[in-house]
Amino acid sequence: GIQVEQSPPDLILQEGANSTLRCNFSDSVNNLQWFHQNPWGQLINLFYIPSGTKQNGRLSATTVATERYSLLYISSSQTTDSGVYFCAVDEFFPYSGGSNYKLTFGKGTLLTVNP
């Protein structure tokens, strides 16, 4: 199956710093999503970004599908940005009724933002 690798595994920042999280994947994909899991466990979808660049406030993401990677940028980090950031990609699979896709997740980057 497809391999999804995220780096760094852990990151500690001071409030106000900027950071870049990386996601590499081993095969071509149709879709890539970034998620944030806050310290209370809630998973929030940040971006649906199969290619190109998107921005949402202090966060932006870029996917270069031809080179099989995606980057998540966090600017002016805040303590509320703490948590685990996951990248997930579409993985094609056949089944008896036809074919479909499923999301395969990386192991995440644990971000801690200190005040």
Least Å from the CB of residue 70 to other proteins: 15
Q: Which is nearer to other proteins, 51 or 104 (CB)?
A: 104
Q: Determine contact, residues 91/28, Cβ cutoff 8 Å.
A: no
Least Å from the CB of residue 16 to other proteins: 26
Q: Which residues bind other proteins (CB under 8 A)?
A: 30-31, 33, 35, 37, 41-45, 48, 84, 86, 88, 90, 93, 95, 97-105, 107-108, 110
Least Å from the CB of residue 24 to other proteins: 17
User: Residue 49 corresponds to which tokens in the numbers above?
Assistant: 């970004």
Q: Determine contact, residues 77/18, Cβ cutoff 8 Å.
A: yes
The region that residue 80 occupies, defined by phi over 0 for left and psi between -120 and 50 for alpha, beta otherwise, is: alpha
